[in-house]
Amino acid sequence: MKITFLGTTCTQPTPSRNHSGILIEIDGDAILLDCGEGIQRQLRVAKKRITKIKHICVSHWHGDHCLGLPGLLSSMASDQISHKVQIYGPEKSKLFLSHMLQGFYSHGVCEHDCSEHEQGTLFKSRMYSVSAHKLVHSVPSIGFKITVYKQRKIIKDLLESKRVPTTLWGKLQQGETVKFDGKMYRPEQYTVQDDPLILCYIADTIMGDHLYTFCEDADIIISESTFLHEHVEKAKEVYHMTSQQAAMVAHHVNAKRLILTHPSLRYKNTKRLLEEAQVIFPNTMFAEDFTEVNIE
Protein backbone atom coordinates (compact mmCIF):
# COMPACT_ATOMS: atom_id res chain seq x y z
CA MET A 1 0.00 0.00 0.00
CA LYS A 2 1.27 3.45 -0.90
CA ILE A 3 -0.06 6.68 0.63
CA THR A 4 0.53 9.95 -1.26
CA PHE A 5 -0.46 13.23 0.37
CA LEU A 6 -1.68 15.52 -2.41
CA GLY A 7 -2.92 18.33 -0.20
CA THR A 8 -2.38 19.01 3.49
CA THR A 9 -3.62 22.47 4.41
CA CYS A 10 -6.65 23.82 6.26
CA THR A 11 -9.27 26.21 4.80
CA GLN A 12 -7.04 28.05 2.30
CA PRO A 13 -4.13 26.91 0.15
CA THR A 14 -0.65 28.25 0.84
CA PRO A 15 2.44 28.47 -1.39
CA SER A 16 3.52 25.05 -0.11
CA ARG A 17 0.26 23.33 0.83
CA ASN A 18 -2.75 22.49 -1.32
CA HIS A 19 -6.28 21.71 -0.17
CA SER A 20 -6.98 18.25 1.26
CA GLY A 21 -6.47 15.07 -0.73
CA ILE A 22 -4.84 11.70 -0.06
CA LEU A 23 -4.27 9.01 -2.67
CA ILE A 24 -4.22 5.39 -1.50
CA GLU A 25 -2.82 2.82 -3.95
CA ILE A 26 -3.55 -0.77 -3.05
CA ASP A 27 -4.00 -4.06 -4.87
CA GLY A 28 -3.89 -2.29 -8.23
CA ASP A 29 -6.64 0.18 -7.24
CA ALA A 30 -6.42 3.91 -6.55
CA ILE A 31 -8.63 5.44 -3.86
CA LEU A 32 -8.88 9.20 -3.33
CA LEU A 33 -9.68 10.41 0.18
CA ASP A 34 -11.10 13.93 -0.18
CA CYS A 35 -10.73 16.08 -3.27
CA GLY A 36 -9.95 19.69 -2.46
CA GLU A 37 -9.46 22.40 -5.05
CA GLY A 38 -6.42 21.76 -7.25
CA ILE A 39 -6.15 18.04 -6.55
CA GLN A 40 -6.09 17.04 -10.21
CA ARG A 41 -3.01 19.23 -10.71
CA GLN A 42 -1.41 17.70 -7.63
CA LEU A 43 -2.03 14.25 -9.09
CA ARG A 44 -0.19 15.22 -12.26
CA VAL A 45 2.71 16.76 -10.34
CA ALA A 46 2.96 13.52 -8.37
CA LYS A 47 2.86 11.61 -11.69
CA LYS A 48 -0.28 9.73 -10.73
CA ARG A 49 -2.73 8.71 -13.44
CA ILE A 50 -6.20 10.05 -12.77
CA THR A 51 -7.61 7.28 -14.94
CA LYS A 52 -6.69 4.73 -12.24
CA ILE A 53 -8.95 6.30 -9.60
CA LYS A 54 -12.04 4.14 -9.09
CA HIS A 55 -13.27 5.36 -5.71
CA ILE A 56 -13.50 8.89 -4.26
CA CYS A 57 -14.33 9.15 -0.56
CA VAL A 58 -15.47 12.63 0.52
CA SER A 59 -15.36 13.15 4.28
CA HIS A 60 -17.62 16.23 4.22
CA TRP A 61 -18.72 19.06 1.98
CA HIS A 62 -16.64 21.98 3.19
CA GLY A 63 -14.94 23.47 0.14
CA ASP A 64 -11.37 22.58 1.12
CA HIS A 65 -12.32 18.89 0.96
CA CYS A 66 -14.52 18.77 -2.16
CA LEU A 67 -14.12 21.69 -4.60
CA GLY A 68 -11.74 19.72 -6.81
CA LEU A 69 -14.44 17.23 -7.79
CA PRO A 70 -15.93 18.98 -10.87
CA GLY A 71 -12.55 19.48 -12.50
CA LEU A 72 -11.37 15.96 -11.72
CA LEU A 73 -14.54 14.34 -13.07
CA SER A 74 -14.34 16.52 -16.20
CA SER A 75 -10.73 15.54 -16.81
CA MET A 76 -11.59 11.89 -16.33
CA ALA A 77 -14.23 12.25 -19.04
CA SER A 78 -11.67 13.90 -21.36
CA ASP A 79 -9.31 11.00 -20.71
CA GLN A 80 -12.14 8.59 -21.58
CA ILE A 81 -11.83 6.37 -18.56
CA SER A 82 -13.40 2.95 -19.04
CA HIS A 83 -14.97 2.53 -15.59
CA LYS A 84 -17.65 4.22 -13.54
CA VAL A 85 -16.27 6.28 -10.65
CA GLN A 86 -17.87 5.58 -7.29
CA ILE A 87 -18.22 8.59 -4.96
CA TYR A 88 -19.00 8.12 -1.27
CA GLY A 89 -19.87 10.78 1.28
CA PRO A 90 -22.10 11.72 4.23
CA GLU A 91 -25.71 12.83 4.05
CA LYS A 92 -26.63 15.38 1.34
CA SER A 93 -23.69 14.26 -0.83
CA LYS A 94 -25.94 13.68 -3.85
CA LEU A 95 -27.48 17.14 -3.51
CA PHE A 96 -24.18 18.97 -3.14
CA LEU A 97 -22.51 17.09 -6.00
CA SER A 98 -25.48 17.75 -8.27
CA HIS A 99 -25.32 21.48 -7.52
CA MET A 100 -21.58 21.59 -8.18
CA LEU A 101 -21.91 19.90 -11.56
CA GLN A 102 -24.69 22.26 -12.65
CA GLY A 103 -22.69 25.37 -11.85
CA PHE A 104 -20.59 25.63 -15.01
CA TYR A 105 -20.51 24.87 -18.74
CA SER A 106 -18.84 21.57 -19.41
CA HIS A 107 -18.30 19.07 -22.20
CA GLY A 108 -19.37 16.48 -19.65
CA VAL A 109 -18.09 14.55 -16.68
CA CYS A 110 -17.24 10.88 -16.44
CA GLU A 111 -19.86 8.31 -15.57
CA HIS A 112 -20.22 8.14 -11.80
CA ASP A 113 -22.44 7.11 -8.91
CA CYS A 114 -22.75 8.95 -5.61
CA SER A 115 -23.94 7.31 -2.39
CA GLU A 116 -24.49 8.61 1.14
CA HIS A 117 -23.25 6.92 4.30
CA GLU A 118 -22.90 7.35 8.04
CA GLN A 119 -21.50 3.98 9.11
CA GLY A 120 -20.58 0.66 7.54
CA THR A 121 -18.73 -0.94 4.65
CA LEU A 122 -18.47 1.13 1.47
CA PHE A 123 -16.67 -1.33 -0.81
CA LYS A 124 -14.26 -4.21 -0.67
CA SER A 125 -12.07 -6.47 -2.75
CA ARG A 126 -10.31 -9.75 -2.08
CA MET A 127 -7.41 -7.86 -0.50
CA TYR A 128 -9.01 -4.95 1.36
CA SER A 129 -12.19 -3.22 2.51
CA VAL A 130 -13.13 0.43 3.14
CA SER A 131 -15.71 1.51 5.70
CA ALA A 132 -17.24 4.80 6.86
CA HIS A 133 -17.45 5.96 10.46
CA LYS A 134 -19.46 8.92 11.72
CA LEU A 135 -17.48 11.89 13.02
CA VAL A 136 -18.67 14.97 14.91
CA HIS A 137 -18.11 18.21 13.00
CA SER A 138 -20.02 21.42 12.29
CA VAL A 139 -21.49 19.66 9.24
CA PRO A 140 -22.08 15.93 8.56
CA SER A 141 -18.64 14.31 8.39
CA ILE A 142 -17.29 10.78 8.16
CA GLY A 143 -13.90 9.17 8.60
CA PHE A 144 -12.64 6.21 6.59
CA LYS A 145 -11.11 2.93 7.72
CA ILE A 146 -9.08 0.85 5.25
CA THR A 147 -8.55 -2.76 6.28
CA VAL A 148 -5.86 -4.64 4.34
CA TYR A 149 -6.00 -8.41 4.69
CA LYS A 150 -2.75 -10.34 4.97
CA GLN A 151 -2.16 -13.20 2.55
CA ARG A 152 -3.07 -16.60 3.96
CA LYS A 153 -0.24 -19.05 4.62
CA ILE A 154 -0.71 -22.68 3.69
CA ILE A 155 -0.37 -25.31 6.44
CA LYS A 156 1.72 -27.48 4.15
CA ASP A 157 2.19 -30.54 6.38
CA LEU A 158 -1.54 -30.80 7.05
CA LEU A 159 -2.50 -30.57 3.39
CA GLU A 160 0.14 -33.10 2.41
CA SER A 161 -1.11 -35.50 5.07
CA LYS A 162 -4.60 -35.22 3.54
CA ARG A 163 -3.08 -35.68 0.06
CA VAL A 164 -4.81 -32.52 -1.20
CA PRO A 165 -3.35 -31.73 -4.67
CA THR A 166 -1.11 -28.67 -4.78
CA THR A 167 -3.28 -27.39 -7.65
CA LEU A 168 -5.97 -26.62 -5.04
CA TRP A 169 -3.70 -24.89 -2.53
CA GLY A 170 -3.91 -21.54 -4.30
CA LYS A 171 -7.69 -21.43 -3.90
CA LEU A 172 -7.41 -22.16 -0.19
CA GLN A 173 -4.82 -19.40 0.07
CA GLN A 174 -7.32 -17.01 -1.55
CA GLY A 175 -9.92 -17.88 1.06
CA GLU A 176 -11.96 -20.33 -1.00
CA THR A 177 -13.38 -23.63 0.18
CA VAL A 178 -12.34 -26.53 -2.10
CA LYS A 179 -13.68 -30.03 -2.62
CA PHE A 180 -11.41 -33.06 -3.00
CA ASP A 181 -12.18 -36.77 -2.89
CA GLY A 182 -15.72 -36.06 -1.69
CA LYS A 183 -14.63 -33.88 1.24
CA MET A 184 -14.75 -30.11 1.77
CA TYR A 185 -11.58 -28.30 2.79
CA ARG A 186 -12.09 -24.86 4.33
CA PRO A 187 -9.39 -22.15 4.39
CA GLU A 188 -9.77 -21.52 8.14
CA GLN A 189 -8.77 -25.16 8.74
CA TYR A 190 -5.82 -25.46 6.39
CA THR A 191 -4.35 -21.93 6.30
CA VAL A 192 -3.34 -19.30 8.82
CA GLN A 193 -3.77 -15.57 8.41
CA ASP A 194 -2.13 -12.76 10.36
CA ASP A 195 -4.18 -9.85 11.65
CA PRO A 196 -5.03 -7.28 8.95
CA LEU A 197 -3.35 -3.91 8.59
CA ILE A 198 -5.77 -1.11 9.49
CA LEU A 199 -5.48 2.53 8.46
CA CYS A 200 -7.88 5.15 9.85
CA TYR A 201 -8.32 8.61 8.33
CA ILE A 202 -9.71 11.11 10.85
CA ALA A 203 -11.04 13.99 8.80
CA ASP A 204 -12.41 17.20 10.34
CA THR A 205 -13.95 16.45 13.74
CA ILE A 206 -14.04 17.46 17.37
CA MET A 207 -12.27 15.35 19.98
CA GLY A 208 -14.44 12.71 21.61
CA ASP A 209 -14.92 9.08 22.58
CA HIS A 210 -16.16 8.34 19.04
CA LEU A 211 -12.54 8.54 17.88
CA TYR A 212 -11.38 5.84 20.29
CA THR A 213 -14.10 3.55 18.98
CA PHE A 214 -13.33 4.41 15.35
CA CYS A 215 -9.56 3.83 15.71
CA GLU A 216 -9.74 0.92 18.15
CA ASP A 217 -7.68 -1.52 16.03
CA ALA A 218 -5.73 1.00 13.94
CA ASP A 219 -2.11 0.41 13.01
CA ILE A 220 -1.79 3.75 11.17
CA ILE A 221 -3.80 6.88 11.91
CA ILE A 222 -3.92 9.87 9.58
CA SER A 223 -5.48 12.72 11.52
CA GLU A 224 -6.36 16.33 11.16
CA SER A 225 -4.45 18.43 13.70
CA THR A 226 -5.57 21.97 13.07
CA PHE A 227 -4.49 23.61 16.33
CA LEU A 228 -1.91 23.63 19.09
CA HIS A 229 -3.34 22.61 22.43
CA GLU A 230 -2.97 26.17 23.73
CA HIS A 231 -5.82 26.91 21.32
CA VAL A 232 -7.95 23.96 22.45
CA GLU A 233 -10.98 26.16 23.15
CA LYS A 234 -10.83 27.55 19.63
CA ALA A 235 -10.54 24.00 18.32
CA LYS A 236 -13.64 23.02 20.25
CA GLU A 237 -15.52 26.08 19.04
CA VAL A 238 -14.94 25.25 15.36
CA TYR A 239 -15.16 21.46 15.75
CA HIS A 240 -11.51 20.65 15.10
CA MET A 241 -8.69 18.88 16.93
CA THR A 242 -5.32 19.76 18.39
CA SER A 243 -2.17 17.80 17.63
CA GLN A 244 -2.07 16.72 21.27
CA GLN A 245 -5.57 15.26 20.99
CA ALA A 246 -4.65 13.33 17.85
CA ALA A 247 -1.64 11.90 19.72
CA MET A 248 -3.88 10.94 22.65
CA VAL A 249 -6.06 8.90 20.30
CA ALA A 250 -3.03 7.12 18.79
CA HIS A 251 -1.60 6.42 22.24
CA HIS A 252 -4.92 5.17 23.64
CA VAL A 253 -5.49 2.62 20.85
CA ASN A 254 -1.82 1.58 20.77
CA ALA A 255 -1.38 2.49 17.10
CA LYS A 256 1.98 1.99 15.42
CA ARG A 257 2.18 5.27 13.52
CA LEU A 258 0.47 8.68 13.50
CA ILE A 259 0.56 11.02 10.51
CA LEU A 260 -0.71 14.55 11.09
CA THR A 261 -2.16 16.89 8.48
CA HIS A 262 -4.48 19.92 8.06
CA PRO A 263 -2.67 22.63 10.11
CA SER A 264 -4.23 26.03 10.67
CA LEU A 265 -2.85 28.96 8.66
CA ARG A 266 -2.13 30.78 11.92
CA TYR A 267 1.07 28.73 12.30
CA LYS A 268 4.10 29.57 10.13
CA ASN A 269 5.26 25.95 10.24
CA THR A 270 4.29 22.66 11.85
CA LYS A 271 7.29 22.29 14.17
CA ARG A 272 5.45 22.97 17.43
CA LEU A 273 2.41 20.96 16.35
CA LEU A 274 4.65 17.97 15.69
CA GLU A 275 6.65 18.35 18.90
CA GLU A 276 3.46 18.60 20.94
CA ALA A 277 2.20 15.31 19.52
CA GLN A 278 5.53 13.51 19.87
CA VAL A 279 5.59 14.13 23.63
CA ILE A 280 2.58 11.80 23.89
CA PHE A 281 3.12 9.59 20.83
CA PRO A 282 6.75 9.58 19.63
CA ASN A 283 6.18 7.82 16.29
CA THR A 284 4.45 10.84 14.76
CA MET A 285 5.22 12.68 11.54
CA PHE A 286 3.63 15.70 9.89
CA ALA A 287 2.71 15.25 6.24
CA GLU A 288 3.77 17.74 3.60
CA ASP A 289 2.35 17.94 0.09
CA PHE A 290 3.72 14.98 -1.92
CA THR A 291 4.87 13.08 1.15
CA GLU A 292 4.79 9.38 0.25
CA VAL A 293 4.49 6.57 2.77
CA ASN A 294 4.98 2.97 1.67
CA ILE A 295 3.45 0.28 3.86
CA GLU A 296 4.71 -3.28 3.40
Hey, which residues are catalytic here?
Answer: 64
Measured distance CA(284)–CA(79) in Å, rounded:
38
Secondary structure class of 239 (helix, strand, coil): coil
Measured distance CA(154)–CA(31) in Å, rounded:
30
What size, in residues, is the chain?
296
Residue type, 167: T
What sections of 229-282 are H helices per DSSP?
A: 232-237, 243-252, 271-280
Measured distance CA(263)–CA(241) in Å, rounded:
10
Contact 16, 47 (CB under 8 A): no
CB atoms within 10 A of CB 130: 23
